Amino acid sequence: MKKVFVIGSGGREHTIVWKLSSSPQIGEIFCAPGNAGISRQAQCVPIPVEDIPGLADFAEKESIDLTVVGPEVPLTMGIVDIFQKRGLIICGPNARAAELEGSKAFAKEFMKKYNIPTADHRTFSDPEKAKEYVKERCTPLVVKADGLAAGKGVMLAITEQQARDAIDLIMIKKDFGTAGNKVVIEEFLLGEEASFLAFTDGETVVPMPSSQDHKAIYDGDQGPNTGGMGAYSPAPVVTSEISEKVMKKIMIPTIKGMAAEGRKYRGILYAGLMIDKGEPWVLEFNTRFGDPETQPLLVKMKNDLLPVLEATITGNLKEMQIEWDARPAVCVVMASSGYPGKYEKGKIISGLEAAEQVKEAFVFHAGTAWNNGKIVTNGGRVLGVTALGNSIQEAINQAYKAVSKITWEGVYHRKDIGSKALKRK
């Protein structure tokens, strides 16, 4: 029986642990640092995701057979390279491949070189030059922090003043730390966003069903961006014809291009897309499972996840046949009041057991912890309540039915997750 080690503490990692826990090949699962929900299915280890030597020491000591990396930060820090140097088996792209997410400037130049459809852009390390460029260009524009900003470093600027304010926030006030050493300014793409994830071993690319994330904090996609307030799969905006275009114009050229650059890419590749008039454009790449897209995707996956992850490492992905539940799945994120700004922790959560009794509903923990035998809030995004249904409406109904059972002081969630899919039926 194999020992598996999952890195991370969010809803994505809980979903990965939950999925792996059903594998007949796995005897033990460890998770660092984990959360209250994960602790029911895995042994949580108090090692931060940035402590890569500590994580590697633990994997060596426990003779871990496979490590799975959830978040982007350890990937860009080179966790895969460090584990591999120690002879440890780990799923995910190495540091040079993870730069596809770690630097938006690198990703944009890469896409330009390999003719991968994306918005026109310029990169700046001087805020005054960035502002001069904004003055020359017509708004609306999109202003992005170059580095990792937990999904929050992207700002839509409808006016020139908003663009200048965004540059100040990123480059001068350093709201996102060193992620704002450079800024990428892009043309504003119209259309509807979608997420497209695939498994890859560096040669074969196997797509997952399409999905759609809801990034803005408020209903109707209003307010500041978050790490994601909900998701559903499949996304009707990604028709079979568009899916073929995404594979042909984006996913396969990206994997081939990365190999040509000496950056062979293995693991999960996630393209954040804008669909406009039947054509897909890349907004950004992520080099790991999305959160909250992982929740609806993995509840739809019929296969054992373990052999698929192993195949991305061994190069045997072409031999894998992956089956997916045809039914739609919806995930509603329940958050702390104040998120994505300041919020309080330690609020007692009630109703979890009642929510888990709802048919075809799953409660994945993100920001939770144990305190005196009670599960309490411990983050901005607290839970990802996910449900399957025979239709998108039924999946929405079941997810919100489970959401209605759960409460804590200051709980907040969007009430319109999945509504775009209903309009496209």
Q: What is the pLDDT of residues 113-126, one digit of tens each?
A: 999 999 887 888 88
Four-CA torsion 335, 72, 122, 157, nearest 10 degrees: 0
Same domain, 166 and 49: no
110 within some domain: no
393 within some domain: yes
Dist CA 106 CA 112 (whole Å): 10
Crossing angle of the two packed helices 11-20 and 305-314, in degrees rounded to 10: 100
Q: Please state, rounded to an integer, the average pLDDT across all residues of the chain.
A: 94
404 within some domain: yes
412 within some domain: yes
252 within some domain: yes
Crossing angle of the two packed helices 252-260 and 104-113, in degrees rounded to 10: 100
Same domain, 206 and 285: yes
Same domain, 6 and 72: yes
Are the beta carbons of 144 and 186 closer than 8 angstroms? yes
Tell me: pLDDT of 425 over 70. no
What is the band of 10 on the pLDDT scale with cuts at 50, 70, 90? very high
Round the CA-based radius of gyration of the chain to a whole number and report it. Answer: 21
Query: Of 260, 291, 319, which one is at a domain's C-terminal end?
Result: 319
Tell me: pLDDT of 4 over 80. yes
Same domain, 390 and 299: no
Per-residue pLDDT tens digits for 188-245: 888 999 999 999 999 999 999 999 999 999 999 999 889 899 999 999 999 999 999 9
Q: Measuring CA to CA, which residue among 363, 165, 303, 328 is closest to residue 231? A: 328
pLDDT for 153 equals: 81
Per-residue pLDDT tens digits for 176-190: 888 788 888 888 888
Are the beta carbons of 67 and 91 closer than 8 angstroms? yes
Per-residue pLDDT tens digits for 258-280: 999 999 999 999 999 999 999 99
CATH number at residue 20: 3.40.50.20
CATH number at residue 149: 3.30.1490.20
Q: By residue range, what is the domain housing residue 148?
A: 126-181
Query: Of 95, 114, 137, which one is at a domain's C-terminal end?
Result: 95
Q: Measuring CA to CA, which residue among 204, 227, 246, 257 is closest to residue 96? A: 257
Query: pTM higher than 0.75 for the full model?
Result: yes
324 within some domain: no
Are the beta carbons of 103 and 95 closer than 8 angstroms? no
Per-residue pLDDT tens digits for 397-423: 999 999 999 999 999 999 999 998 888
